[in-house]
């Protein structure tokens, strides 16, 4: 579970994951979830190669220190929209985004703005789906 991901531009959504990547999100799920693109088991979210996601939204910019956070954040929101996990985990998903961005070298002030942006704006869009 390193601090980098391999991805490329393009596909149905903006970004295409080129290699499988996992992160401990700390969200329990019993029984575990497994699909062609995502897995959630023992609190570890795995995004499989070929998963696609939108990346940064609104005024945010897709930078190297934002990509991995946006990957797992978008995947968690997808799991909430698909009712795999409860919307009660929205705040946890937003904290995971901030945590990963900080680990990947984002400044504390930008990570705070990113977090506040999703806290304020992301909940309105519960119907969108990414893959």
Listing DSSP states for 86-124 in one string gives -GGGHHHHHHHHHHHHHHTT--HHHHHHHHHHHHHHGGG
Rounded to whole angstroms, the Cα distance separating 64 from 106 reads 9
CA–CA distances in Å: residue 36 to residues 33, 60, 107, 115: 10, 29, 34, 29
pLDDT reported for residue 6:
95
pLDDT reported for residue 122:
60
User: Does the pTM exceed 0.85?
Assistant: yes
pLDDT reported for residue 121:
78
- What is the chain's pLDDT, residue by residue, as a tens digit (131 residues)? 447 899 999 878 899 999 999 999 999 999 999 999 999 999 999 999 999 999 887 777 889 999 999 999 999 999 999 999 999 999 999 999 999 999 999 999 999 999 998 998 765 544 444 44
């Amino acid at each position: 579970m390193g601090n980098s991901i391999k991805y490329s531009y393009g596909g149905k959504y903006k970004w295409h994951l080129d290699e499988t990547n996992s992160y401990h999100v700390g969200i329990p799920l019993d029984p575990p979830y497994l699909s062609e693109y995502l897995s959630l088991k023992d609190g570890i979210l795995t995004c499989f190669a070929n998963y696609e996601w939108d990346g940064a939204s609104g005024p945010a910019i897709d930078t190297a220190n934002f990509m991995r956070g946006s990957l797992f954040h978008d995947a968690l929101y997808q799991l909430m929209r698909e009712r795999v996990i409860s919307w009660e985990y929205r705040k946890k998903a937003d904290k995971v985004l901030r945590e990963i961005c900080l680990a990947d070298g984002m400044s504390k002030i930008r990570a705070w703005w990113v977090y506040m942006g999703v806290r304020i704006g992301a909940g309105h869009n519960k119907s969108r789906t990414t893959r």
